[in-house]
Amino acid sequence: MKILVTGGAGFIGSAVVRLAVARGHAVVNVDALTYAGCLANVADVADNALYSFEQVDIRDRAALDAVMDTHQPDAIMHLAAESHVDRSIDGPGDFIETNITGTYNMLEAARAYWTAKGKPADFRFHHISTDEVYGSLGETGMFTEETSYDPRSPYSASKAASDHLVRAWHETYGLPVVLTNCSNNYGPYHFPEKLIPVVILNALAGKDIPVYGKGENVRDWLYVEDHADALLLVLEKGALGRSYNIGGENEARNIDLVTTICQILDDKRPKNTKYEDQITFVADRAGHDLRYAIDPGRIRDELGWRPSVTVEEGLEKTVQWYLDNEDWWRALQDRDGVGERLGVKG
Ligand SMILES: NC(=O)c1ccc[n+]([C@@H]2O[C@H](COP(=O)([O-])OP(=O)(O)OC[C@H]3O[C@@H](n4cnc5c(N)ncnc54)[C@H](O)[C@@H]3O)[C@@H](O)[C@H]2O)c1
């Protein structure tokens, strides 16, 4: 199959690109290379005959039409997005343009291409979204695919809007879509502004390890390579028009996650003091959702998918990856906003 992947130079998109090529799919990576895009993430496949790259912005409809025309994909996996909640608080405009208008452009470009080809029934538009569209849970309960949308940040509101557009294009125009909403990912190539890489890199640099509020926010953690595996499965086997929640079956409070990472570093890179002594509680994020939890019943029962790693195994692999790949993360530390506290301008 030839898959057009948007956002393939980002964290999750690059895991999808690497896995799809490894499984023998042809992949066209469409990415604008914003501050979050990094071609080093796909260096392993750059010379593979199955792989090609197009530097295109999804806000540019004409460029998308040209890419479809040139590459004639069998399926689209749409991951390109502005993805950092803190940046959405400081500057929501880019989130509206890329996540909403960009998704609209993707849908229209896909619809025009699919229609011109005679509406092949096996074409797929797979929209990749987040569990954050469901809002915040209390201490109990889980998000199912039937949970009402209740986004609370500019990021999650823009993703919710994009999900609604994708469903509308299926209902109205018959575009063959599938959707997924996943929990927090972590793993190799995670951009160094997100919680887990910040913890690892600040710990190694001897800096304060910032934890928002009291660290009591709960997230479900999904190893990125497990996520890529689930995404390819949904693309190939998911029912048309259907949404699948994808979780890691690994709920953890932020403070427990951070402490675990510190303990892994104590073992792997020991020093005179404990890394957890560097933990510093900082002012909470505005509108910080308390808890997300995924009910993974649908993807497990209908498609037979479950995550392959526990959060302990995944964190161990992730910390080791950052220790082994210093060149990768050092090259990103000069990028705009990296290492700064974001999300406090609002
Ligand atoms: N990271 C998570 O934990 C998580 C969880 C759930 C859902 N998601 C969703 O998964 C997708 C990928 O997330 P990620 O963490 O890999 O993001 P990321 O920020 O690491 O990567 C996003 C990629 O999209 C590209 N991009 C951004 N704007 C673009 C534009 N206008 N045109 C073309 N390319 C553009 C960037 O250059 C980058 O390569 C997003 O849709 C996000 O909403 C992420």
Query: How does pLDDT run across 65-114, given as a tens digit for each residue?
Result: 999 999 999 999 999 999 999 899 999 999 999 999 999 999 999 999 99
Would residue 153 count as lying in a domain? yes
Residue 193 forms part of a structural domain: no
CA dist., res. 129 & res. 119, Å (int): 25
CB-facing half-sphere around the CA of 213: CA atoms within 13 A: 15
Q: Ligand 1 centroid to 62 CA: how many Å?
A: 21
Backbone torsion region of residue 304, taken as left when φ is above 0, otherwise alpha when ψ lies between -120 and 50, otherwise beta: left
The per-residue pLDDT for 79 is: 98
Look-up of token digits 């909640």: 85
Rounded Cα distance, 73 and 13, in Å: 17
Query: Which residues are designated catalytic?
Result: 131-132, 155
According to DSSP, the residues that pair with 209 across neighbouring strands are: 279
What's the CA-to-centroid distance between 42 and ligand 1, angstroms? Answer: 15
Q: Measured in angstroms, how far is the CA atom of residue 236 from the centroid of ligand 1?
A: 21
Query: What's the CA-to-centroid distance between 290 and ligand 1, angstroms?
Result: 23
Classify the C-alpha dihedral 142-146-151-152 as positive or negative.
negative
Query: Atom 11 of ligand 1 has which residue's CA nearest to it?
Result: 79
pTM: 0.97
313 — pLDDT class (breaks 50, 70, 90): very high
- Tell me the pairing of strands 243-246 and 177-182: parallel
Which of 335, 306, 194 shows the shortest CA–CA distance to 248?
A: 306
Q: Atom 12 (ligand 1): residue with closest C-alpha?
A: 79
DSSP for residue 294: B
In a domain, 327, yes or no: no
CB atoms within 10 A of CB 261: 24
Residue 106 belongs to a domain: yes
* Residue 183 Cα to ligand 1 middle (Å): 14
* Minimum CA distance residue for ligand 1 atom 18: 10
Does any domain span residue 319? no
Alpha helices, DSSP H, located in the chain: 11-22, 61-71, 85-90, 93-95, 102-116, 154-173, 195-205, 224-237, 254-268, 297-303, 311-324, 326-330
Residue to mutate, 30, 79, 184, ligand 1, most ligand atoms under 8 Å from C-beta: 79
**Residue 102, domain CATH:** 3.40.50.720
**What ligand 1 atom has the least distance to the C-alpha of 59?**
31
Token pair, residue 46, equals 């750059």
* DSSP code string of 186-207: ESTT--TTSHHHHHHHHHHHT-
> What is the domain range of residue 62?
2-186+223-248+290-308
Nearest-atom index, ligand 1, CA of 131: 6
Q: Residue written as tokens 């096996």?
A: 122
Using only the alpha carbons of the chain, give its radius of gyration: 19
Query: What's the pLDDT tens digit per position in 314-343?
Result: 999 999 999 999 999 999 998 988 887 788
For residue 201, what pLDDT is reported?
97
CA of 145 to the centre of ligand 1 (A): 21
| Exposed / middle / buried, residue 1 (Cβ in 10 Å: 0-12, 13-18, 19+) | middle
Candidate of 4, 6, 12 to mutate for ligand 1, largest count of ligand atoms within 8 Å of Cβ: 12
Element of type H or E holding 185: strand 184-186
Domain count, the chain: 1
Instruction: Determine which of 172-176, 181-185, 194-198, 280-284 has the lowest per-residue pLDDT on average.
Output: 280-284
DSSP symbols for 137-161? B-SS--B-TTSPP---SHHHHHHHH
Indicate whether 12 belongs to any domain: yes
342 domain residue, yes or no = no
Q: Which of 28, 34, 180, 189 to mutate to test the pocket of ligand 1 (most atoms within 8 A of CB)?
A: 34
Within 8 A by CB and 6+ apart from 3, the residues are 20, 25, 26, 27, 28, 73, 74, 75, 76, 77, 235
- pLDDT value at position 346? 64
Query: Each residue of 244-266: pLDDT tens digit?
Result: 999 999 999 999 999 999 999 99
Query: Residue 41, CB half-sphere, CA atoms under 13 Å: how many?
Result: 27
Minimal-distance CA residue to ligand 1 atom 26: 80
* Rounded Cα–Cα distance for residues 342 and 346 (Å): 10
Quick check: 179 and 129 in contact, CB under 8 A?
yes
Q: Within the chain, what is the greatest distance between any pair of CA atoms?
A: 67
Q: Which atom of ligand 1 is least distant from the CA of 155?
A: 43
Whose alpha carbon is nearest atom 5 of ligand 1? 184
The answer to the question of residue 320 being in a domain is no
What residues line ligand 1, using a CB cutoff of 6 Å? 7, 9-13, 31-34, 36-37, 57-59, 79-83, 98, 102, 128-130, 159, 182, 184-185, 191
Which residue puts its alpha carbon closest to atom 27 of ligand 1? Answer: 81
pLDDT tens sequence across 136-192? 998 899 999 999 999 999 999 999 999 999 999 999 999 999 999 999 999 999 999
